[in-house]
């Protein structure tokens, strides 16, 4: 029986096609959003898509809600 191999997948975050390095693997996705909100205020109300397995990482995307005001 072959031995099981485990490896830690890194997380990567994207917003508007900008790759944002994981600020800390100990943080939840919501905590990452809170940490990034001062730099990217629009992600405060964005939805999170993912994780998507992209081989050596788990990719999360912050997607801004598009809607009408009023």
pLDDT (tens digit, 9 = 90+) per residue, 29-60? 999 999 999 999 999 999 999 999 998 899 99
For residue 3, being part of any structural domain is answered with no
Which residues constitute the domain of residue 38?
11-64
- Whether the predicted model's global pTM rises above the 0.85 cut: no
Q: Is 53 a member of any domain?
A: yes
Q: Is residue 2 part of a domain?
A: no
Overall domain count for the chain? 1
Which helix (H) or strand (E) segment is 63 a member of? strand 57-63
3-state secondary structure of 46: coil
Q: Is residue 51 part of a domain?
A: yes
Judge whether 15 lies within some domain: yes
Alpha-carbon gap, residue 20 to 5, rounded angstroms: 28
In a domain, 35, yes or no: yes
């Amino acid at each position: 029986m072959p031995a099981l191999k485990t490896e830690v997948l890194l997380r990567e975050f994207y917003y508007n096609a900008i790759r944002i390095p994981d600020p800390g693997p100990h943080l939840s996705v919501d905590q990452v959003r809170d940490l990034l909100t001062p730099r990217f205020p629009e992600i405060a109300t964005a939805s999170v898509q993912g994780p998507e397995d992209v081989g050596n990482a788990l990719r999360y995307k912050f997607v801004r809600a598009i809607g009408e005001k009023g």
